[in-house]
Every structure is written in structure tokens, then in C-alpha cells.
Structure 1
């Protein structure tokens, strides 16, 4: 009898614990919360113009996100050397220039390098550019057989021919649907992409990637306020920007940073922390990206810090199941990009990323853009599916799942042609 009671108690405990960890997809269960005002200082003072925003509120918010969410880069490190691994004036059936550029970094006796694949339209003398990371290697975004396969660690994906954490020829072109290279080139834009695993492998292990180049003495992992992987990937995008400023074929004043999912979170942080990016596109970034953390809908701070503890700095764990204590939310991250244009996108079936929370992030960032006379999200209700709002702050929700589609790129290109000056 005692054994039966113990078993029942055990299953009741497991059931309760499991329920606590289940994602909430019910709007009626979203907790009540007070959203912080991006135009009010932590001390309560109101911000009334762009000069006060830039002098007082922007640095205050940027510092909080740096110290408590993404983590601080513990120093500076310039490109040690640049090597053109391969170049062609006759790529993509003759309409593009292709470059594969290796950026090398050295510090404390350690070396890291990553390769930037660049396509530029031959029809444009100094091209505007989209830049973003890919998940499975530069060779996956195109059928182009000249694109080099990375030798870096990769997450296993047998359907892509990736086993033993090694990228292979079998995965060439498997993600062409996510990049629409021809449409980008035909629109007069260039495209640059980097395999994110070359900058920092996406695993809870700070023994490889860029982090060890900054370690001091016997340090084994970042300090509590130092960078997780998202900040490391953002750092890599800024170093790519350092190179773009040297390349006479690229208009460095018109570089738009793009990312999807965790790399959408990365694009937002890169744009917020590096003003050289002319615009930001964040595709379905979810929690820690554009979605409001305080909604606790779909992916949450607790879930993300437990499933991917390496993405954010350790200080962010203070807000796991404690979002009400956050003095900021993600609309203020988006606001840090002002007055530069920013595009947030959702997918109807991607509830994990919380489309409504992503929309609200864009909506509540809008007052900061309005300080500069820029137009943001003016309607308080989400737009219809496949009906984009294209202003300086742009948003759409499309049909489908967590992905990047041709529809997405068509909107991004149209928006960039209008707002990237």
C-alpha cells in the first residue's frame, strides 16, 4: 500500500513539474505585466527629444542589455589578416562577382578565422549589401560548386548528410530556399554570408570559437557579465563590417544585417550595438529577440537559458521565471536601433516564437523612432497574414512555419530599396 501511495505521489510530482515546463500557447494565460516605457529613464525622468535619448536613455539601456542579457565583449580585437581564398568575375551565370574572403584573428597565442562568402551584382559599381549568418555552411545557400565547404564543427543533421559533426558535399544547396540569391542580385543588392559555427560553435562549450582568444590566465569560460554566443556571433558580424569598409566594391553605408531565429536575435543585437549597420532584418527571432519576454508565451527566458545556456550571459539567468523583475523588455532592444530602419517578421504557425509578442515589440519601440520623425507601427492590432506594414519600423506575419521563404525576401528587398539610403 505504501509503495502504491509513493508511486502515485511520484507520478503526481512528475506531472506537475512537466506542466510547469510546458510552453504556454493560451493568450488567456499570459500574465498581467507592466511594460517599461522606453522614453522613461530608470530614475523616472522622461525623455522628450532625440538628443536626450542619445545622451541619456540609449546608453543606459545599451549598458543594461550588455551587462544582463547578451554579455560584454571583454576587449577589442582587430582583423589580423585578410586572405582572398577564391574570386570569380563570372558567378551566377555571369551576373555576379563572387568572393570568398578569410578573416584571421590572433590573440594570446591563439588563432581563429572565418570565411565570408560574398556575391555582388556586376551591374552595380558600389553595391548595397545584405549580410547574415547561415546555419549549415556557406555551401548550403547556393548550388554554386565553387563555394568552399567549411571544416568547422557542425550540428549533426543526417538528412543534410552531416554526421560526426562534419559538413559534407551532400548538403550543398540544401538551404537555397532561405536565401533567394538570384532575387537579391537582380534587385541590385549584394549578399554576404558566414557559417556561424566558424565564429562560435553552437554548443554549451566555451573551449573553442572566439571566446578563448580573450581568456586571461587559466580562464575557462566567460564571466557572468561577459558574452554568450549571441554576442560572439554579433561580434563576428561587426568584424565582417570592418572588412566591408575596406572593400571598394561594397557600399559600407548601406549594409543591412539579417538573421533568422537565434540568428535573428543576433542580428538585432548586432544592429543595436554597432551603428554602422544601416538597417536590421530579424526573421522570427522569438524570446531574447523581438518578442516581449514578460508575455511568457511560447519560448521563455527560463526555457532558453536551460535549453541553450551558452546563448546569453549568465546574468540573464537571474530573470528565468522572473521576467517581472526585468526593468527592460525587447521593444527597448529594437528601440536602440533608432533611427535606422528595422524589420521584424513572424510566421502564423510559429507559435514558439510568439508572433504577437514580436509584433508588440515593434509596436512599442515605435515612440523612439517617432522622436526622429520616423514612421513606425501605427496600428495596435496585428496586420492580416501576408499584409506587410512597411515603414521605418516594418512588420509582417506570413502563412507557414518557422522558416525563411521567398515571400519574406520579396518584402525585405522591397523595404530595403525604399528605406536603406
Structure 2
């Protein structure tokens, strides 16, 4: 397991939130999912302080997986055995991560040989060098009122959670231009942007993973700073539509992100890929694959038969656990596949439950305004509550599921596995 150099740290905000949330459940003060107390709380095995990938040392076998029209069991290892302890999840998560890279998104390289940059009250600069290639990009910083250092939410492309609500909750806004890292409108064999300048224009890694890599490099620079402006251990990420896809992938693939808030991410985002293929009106897998090189090149062979995929997005939701996750969806636009989104959220919530962190995931699609990427009043409360819990370490996590009856999926139709009660041993 990889750790940062030894230094003094406060407890990560997500860990504080987990303890507070459990206390709130016991006190009966949270509006939780009906089964939110089904699993006993167990301490979750994760590096402290968090690292980008704490399962990097786990061996992942390269073996075929059987085709399955149902959602794969997130608790069954590639060797066919089921995990039984909380500690087992670390290496099971590593298997899911590797399979998702191989078949859905493309590889996310480890931290480059050199990452340098600066953090100021108005800007973050990032400079990367690796094996003779280099690239750079920057992101804007907008601080809230008060004195720092502040937690921060990285906002993809100016489209994400309400930035006024973020700042009112005492968090800075980092404005990230994903196109500086991976441009749209390019052919798959000639991808452009900082990521591809370093790893090659013919890289099989799609834009979503390239954008996630860019978020990770921003966090690297914040970690290396003197900590006077931003708190490295209290970073969130959000985005809407295509940028919601990017925020979802960024949160799944960097365990330093304490709070992930994708909005209306649609196909290639949170919605279950197997379910999207059967949801009337949802963007087809082939359409999402061809519209932009969002997904990895390897995904092209699965668009017509997602049952062959060894993973699905409910497991990527599970990859975020036990960290904070607030999924927001729009049931008024069929193209966004909100029914499939609820299936993935419910499936991923089973991982949260098994890890004893059921309160740390929230989902909300029951909204009145159908405008794409609108700032909705229904979301403001749980959004600010999530920022308080996971970035400030105060109060309790929302732990709420509000699924629109217009687009309500049934997890029972998509699984033949049961959620284990994981013990604290191991």
C-alpha cells in the first residue's frame, strides 16, 4: 500500500463524516434509504491519508469472464470466491478498476515521473513530465468568504453543481477546463490535449479517463503546496452532462477525492451499461461511443453486446465507497437514461452498505424542472450538507435516495447475487 511521506494530518473529512453519519443513524435523525441500517458498521480499510489508488499493489489475474446479461456481482473475485471481510474490498476494488480500464475507459497511468506547479488564490498551474514528454495546463480558483485554507470542489467546464451554493457552503471552486487535457472533436487515432501529449495521440484511453487524470494532477499540485490556500485532503468534484461523466470517472479512479457529485451524466456516465441497452429513449451505447472519444477504444467491441462486459457502472459507483457520493439525475429527458442511473446507484449502494457506509451515498432524480443542467432547489440542501460532511467534517451525510417514479429502476431485475455482511477481520 502506498502512503504519502510521514507528516501530521487531521482525520480525512470522509472518515469523520462516516462516524457522524453512523451516529445519526443510531439516533434516528437522518432521512435514509429504507435499508440504510441493514448492515452493521465496520471500519473501512483505506490508506490514511488517502492515496490515488490504495490497491495498486494488488495482483489482478488476466482471465476471461463469462457473458452475463445481469449486473456482475461486485463481491465475487475473478477467481470465483466471494469476499468476506471489509479488508477484502481493497483488492476486489483493484480488480474492478483494472477490468474497467481494460474494457470501458482505457488505462489511467500512475502519477507521472514529475508533477510540479503552483497554487494561488486565483489559479493552479500544473506541469507534467514523463519519459521525455511534457505538458501543462491550469485551472482557475475562486475562494469563498472567510479565512483559509479551504476545501475545494473541482468543477468541470463550468457546468456542475451550483457554484454559488458551493461557495456559500465554505468551499472554493476550482474551474477545470477538461478540453485542455483531452479535446473533443478529434479522431480516435489522433487524440489531442495534455494527456495525449504525454502518452501519445493514438493512446487507447478515452477522454473521460484523460480528464480524470487531469483532476488527479491538480490534486498532486495542491498536495505539494504549502497548504495555505487549499486543503488537499478535502477535495470534491462535480460536472453536468458530458462533464458529469468526467466527474463520475474522476471520483471513481482517485481515492483522494472526498466527495463526487455527477449531474445528469447519461450514457458513459453513471447509468448501468446493460440497462441502457434496454431503456427506451436512452442514448445507445454505440451512439455514446461514436459521438466523442469519451470511452476507451476497447469499448467499441462491447457496444452491441454489453452482457460480455466483465464490469458495469454499479461497480464503479462502488469504487467510490466509502467516500461521499451524491448522484443527481434528470428524469424528464429520456436520452439521459435516468432509469438505468437508478439501477446503478442502487447496485452501488449495496457496496456502501456492505462496507458500513450506507449513509455516504445519496441519489436524487425526483425533480420538477426538466431543463438540462439546471440549478435545482431540490439539490441545494443535500449538496451543501454533503460539502459540510465530507469536505468540512461537520454535521451528517444526507444518506437520502429520492428516485423519480417516472424513471425508477428495479435492482431485483438486474441481479442474482446477494449482498454479504462483511466482517471486520482480515
Q: TM-score, normalised by structure 1?
A: 0.69
What is the match of residue 231 of structure 1?
209
Residue 395 of structure 1 aligns with which residue? 363
CA–CA distance in 2 between the matches of 1:38 and 1:401? 34
- Give 1:364 shift: 0.7
Aligned to 1:190: 172
| Pairwise CA RMSD | 2.3
Q: Paired residue for 2:103, among 45, 68, 89?
A: 68
Greater alpha carbon shift after TM alignment, 403-412 vs 359-368: 403-412
CA 1:339–1:221: 2 relative to 1, 3 Å: same
Gaps of 5+ in 1: 1-31, 88-97, 135-140, 142-174, 376-390
Greater shift after overlay, 312-321 or 72-81?
Answer: 72-81
Equivalent-residue separation in structure 2 for 1:207 and 1:110 (angstroms): 16
> How far off its partner does 1:419 sit?
3.9
Secondary structure at 1:244 match in 2: helix
Distance 1:120 1:44, change over 3 A: same
Q: Per-residue deviation at 1:108?
A: 6.3
Equivalences for residues 103-118 of structure 1 within 5 A? 103-107=126-130, 111-118=134-141
The 2-side partners of 1:242 and 1:220 are apart by 24
Kindly tell me the number of residue pairs found equivalent between the two proteins: 314
Structure 2 match to 1:40: 76
Say if 1:106 and 1:213, in contact at 8 Å, map to a contact too.
Answer: no
Aligned 1:188-337 pairs, distance under 5 A: 188-205=170-187, 206-215=190-199, 220-222=201-203, 226-245=204-223, 246=225, 247-295=227-275, 296=277, 297=279, 298-308=282-292, 310-337=293-320
The superposition leaves residues 171-211 of structure 1 with CA deviations (integer Å, 9 ceiling, x where unpaired) of: xxxx7xx6543332222111111112111211224353124
Structure 2, unmatched stretches of 5+, are 1-67, 394-426
The secondary structure found in structure 1 opposite 2:173 is strand
- The verdict on how the C-alpha distance between 1:323 and 1:414 changes in structure 2, with shifts beyond 3 A counting, is same
Task: Write out per-residue CA displacement over residues 224-249 of structure 1, whole angstroms, 9 at most, x where no aligned residue.
Answer: xx311111100000011112212422
Asked if the contact 1:348–1:401 (Cα under 8 Å) also holds between the matched residues in 2, the reply is no
User: Equivalents in 2 of 1:350, 1:119: separation in Å?
Assistant: 32
User: For 1:145-182, what per-residue CA distance to the aligned partner results, in whole angstroms no more than 9, with x for missing partners?
Assistant: xxxxxxxxxxxxxxxxxxxxxxxxxxxxxx7xx65433
Indicate how the Cα distance of structure 1 residues 181 and 313 shifts in structure 2: closer, same or farther if over 3 A, else same: closer
Whether contact under 8 Å (1:105, 1:112) holds in the other structure is: yes
Residues 293 and 300 in structure 1, CA contact (< 8 A), matched pair in contact too: no
TM-score, length-scaled by structure 2: 0.68
The alpha carbon displacement at 1:261 in A equals 1.6
Larger Rg: 1
SS of equivalent to 2:322: coil
Displacement of 1:346: 0.6
Write the mapping of 1:162-201 to structure 2, written as runs, cut at 5 A: 180-201=162-183
